[in-house]
């Protein structure tokens, strides 16, 4: 393991990076009553859930957890599914990530609330330190290939930042999964062939094959495996090893993994997920790409 000094990892030559590309804040103030009810179900009691949220709303505590788990960097996503005012979420993420370069902030925007998304994105990236954009079509109810979004995609492309999208199912209230079909990214990949497009959850549920088709067709499209049982990844994506250059490790921490059949939630075991991927049956080179090297390139980390 790398040594840690004041929560900043020392760079060691040839050390393989571990990058969690999908992390959320745990601040209880950012959660609606519906989401609190769902998340708390994964803990022995609501009190333990609230204590967990309080502990890890402190970024220094989260950095210590990263050290315990062997995670070098975490992409912290502003999440508009939890707060109606996404700019407030952006501010919270900015403040959380300010304490360490190991915490990489992604902002969020809502086309119904931000009429000049392109200009807002420039400000957020150039003046507030954001390194990427996360969009939530299923929660904000828009199709990713709507041309009204093209100015912000052109801006992201010019700024050379990744754009991540929620895809597939969600059990949160008011979500509309019709907006989460990965096939919409065919238009984006053709019209913006240099833009880094990330399909969070890989079309989870009805569209795993559609997500894999996008990866096969377009080299600028990636699958973030967060929210998926790691032991079933090769069943879900049989060609994962062959297309390892286009997969990203992510946990969706602290969101539990939900079983849609019995609607039971299970707390994410990050360490177990890492070990499962290392022993998945793909080559060590492919596993290293998925666990961090691909993210390192996308984020421009030395």
Strand partners, 101: none
H or E stretch including 284?
helix 284-288
Q: Does domain 16-299 have CATH number 3.20.20.140?
A: yes
CA–CA dist 190, 161 (Å, integer): 17
| 1-10 pLDDT tens trace | 333 333 334 3
| Banded model confidence at residue 122, pLDDT cuts 50, 70, 90 | very high
Confidence band (pLDDT; 50, 70, 90) for 79?
confident
- Between CA 87 and CA 258 the distance in angstroms is 28
Looking at residues 214-218, what average pLDDT do you find?
A: 98
Q: What is the pLDDT of residue 29?
A: 76
Closest Cα partner for 261 from 205, 203, 196, 190? 205
CA distance 95 to 225: 26
Average pLDDT rounded to a whole number, residues 216-231: 96
* pLDDT score of 84: 52
What digits encode the pLDDT tens for the residues 35-66?
888 888 888 899 999 999 999 999 999 999 99
Phi, psi of 25 (to 5 degrees): -70, 155
């Amino acid at each position: 393991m790398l040594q840690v000094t004041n929560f900043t990892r020392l760079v060691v030559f040839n050390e393989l990076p571990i990058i969690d590309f999908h992390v959320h804040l745990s601040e209880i103030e950012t959660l609606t009553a519906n989401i609190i009810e769902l998340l708390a179900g994964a803990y022995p009691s609501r009190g333990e859930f609230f204590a967990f949220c309080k502990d890890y709303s402190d970024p220094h505590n989260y950095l210590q957890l990263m050290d315990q788990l062997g995670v070098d960097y975490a992409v912290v996503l502003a999440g508009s599914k939890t707060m109606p005012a996404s700019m407030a979420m952006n501010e919270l993420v900015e403040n959380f990530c300010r304490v360490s370069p190991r915490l990489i902030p992604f902002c969020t925007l809502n086309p119904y609330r931000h009429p000049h998304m392109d200009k807002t994105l420039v400000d957020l990236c150039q003046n507030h330190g954001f390194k990427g954009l996360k969009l939530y079509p299923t929660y904000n109810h828009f199709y990713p290939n709507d041309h009204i979004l093209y100015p912000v995609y052109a801006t992201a492309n010019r700024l050379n930042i990744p754009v991540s999208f929620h895809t597939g199912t969600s059990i949160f209230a008011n979500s509309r999964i019709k907006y989460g079909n990965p096939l919409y990214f065919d238009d984006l990949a053709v019209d913006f062939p240099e833009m880094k497009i990330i399909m969070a959850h890989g079309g989870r549920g009805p569209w795993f094959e559609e997500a894999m088709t996008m990866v096969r067709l377009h080299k600028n499209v990636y699958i973030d495996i967060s929210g998926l049982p790691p032991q079933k990844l090769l069943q879900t994506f049989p060609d994962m090893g062959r297309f390892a250059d286009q997969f990203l490790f992510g946990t969706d921490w602290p969101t539990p993994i939900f079983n849609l059949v019995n609607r039971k939630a299970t707390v994410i075991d990050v360490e177990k997920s890492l070990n499962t991927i290392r022993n998945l049956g793909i080559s060590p080179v492919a596993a290293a790409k998925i666990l961090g090297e691909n993210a390192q390139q996308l984020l421009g980390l030395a």
